[in-house]
Amino acid sequence: MSQISEKLVHLFSGRVLAKVSLLMTLLMLVPCTAHAKSYKVATISPDGLSWMKKFRAAIKDIEAQTEGRVKFKIYPGGVMGDDYTVLRKMRVGQLHGGGFAAGSLTRFYPDLQVYNLPFQFQSFDEVDYVRARMDSRIVDGLESGGLNSFSLTETGFAYLMSKDPVTSVDDLHKLKAWVPDGDPISADLIKSFGISPIPLSITDVLPGLQTGLINAVAVPPIVALALQWHNHVKYMMDMPLIYIYSLVAMDKKVFSRISELDRKIVYKVMNKLFNEIDADNRRDNQKAYSALVAQGIKVTSPGPEQIPAWRAIADRSIDELVESGQISNESLGLYKGFLEEFRQQAGGSEPGE
């Protein structure tokens, strides 16, 4: 190679190295966007609900605080399917998270259903006392199972609403009650009371009530009103059956792809949001209960002599859950221990006894 050629090669190489060095310097000065992520989250909740409006405001706040590195796209109103369909779409990466009824997530952490046991919670004071001590256990359990979740959100006490009056255990045998499709635990609990469970997706419940395929649902008042189910029942039993809660959960692997700083921002905003919604739902359920009565729903109550029979069936169904391994003795023991602790501090016996 001639001396002129060698000089040209050295000159060209030097310029390339200089440009590479300059590019690397500029990249170091520009904020890193390698971990930017847009998350797709689905829920069956209609878009017009107050909590959905707050949810949309919160995700705008997250986008602003993370300078666009974290965004959310919401699919409301069940357009992506029910809870179980959303979970299937999360497995294949079509979705990254969703708003779920807790019962649909038992395969990730079976013990999360400890709050859903029948006839256990008897007041909101009991709920608050136990949740303050056990919510973190549920969040940690879900994380171990592969889901990152935010603060749990009260959906409310579920009341039995039916086309025919129910005041005794015998009346339950006439019922064909909705249970979420793909939720065998709910079906087993329903059957333990002598009720015929009819598995349906949530979008099929209204047609089911209209056609007579089902004649009963057990849901909180705000759910019955929001989904217009109250127009197809006549009676509501004034005894809370189970406590229902929900949560927004994300696929852990996908959520971990953003920076630790951005995850902290998401947690801070989301936890604040769902704590507010938790309180809102309690107030809204009380208003919804009154609204149902005002619209002509007749309230029935089992007589005091009937209460022991209801509780005996509930206790037997809980024993069966433990024996089948669907809930652990450890979580059940903690739960019952906190309930007993609260009742002793309150200085009273278990309500209904």
The reported pLDDT for the residue numbered 29 is 38
Hey, what's the torsion of the CAs at 320, 322, 327, 333, to 10 degrees? 130
CA pair distance 181, 197, nearest whole angstrom: 10
- Check: CB of residue 310 under 8 Å from CB of residue 160: no
CA pair distance 316, 225, nearest whole angstrom: 32
Q: What is the pLDDT along the chain (353 residues), one digit of tens a residue?
A: 444 444 434 433 445 444 434 333 333 333 444 457 999 999 988 887 888 999 999 999 999 999 999 999 999 999 999 899 999 999 999 999 999 999 899 999 999 999 999 999 989 999 999 999 999 999 999 999 999 999 999 999 999 999 999 999 899 999 999 998 877 778 888 888 889 999 998 889 999 999 999 999 999 999 999 889 999 999 999 999 999 999 999 999 999 999 999 999 999 999 999 999 999 999 999 999 999 999 999 999 988 888 899 999 999 999 998 998 889 999 999 999 999 999 999 885 444 44
The reported pLDDT for the residue numbered 28 is 38
Tokens at 285, concatenated: 């359920």
- Domain limits, the chain: 37-346
**Length of the chain measured in residues:** 353
The reported pLDDT for the residue numbered 253 is 96
Domain 37-346, second-level architecture: 3-Layer(aba) Sandwich (3.40)
The reported pLDDT for the residue numbered 35 is 56
For residue 352, what are the CA distances in angstroms to 123, 224, 301? Answer: 12, 26, 12
The reported pLDDT for the residue numbered 119 is 92
Name the residue among 317, 318, 329, 300 with its Cα closest to residue 159: 300
Q: Report the amino acid identity of residue 51.
A: W
The reported pLDDT for the residue numbered 348 is 57
The reported pLDDT for the residue numbered 56 is 96
Q: Is 25 exposed, middle or buried (0-12, 13-18, 19+ CB in 10 A)?
A: exposed
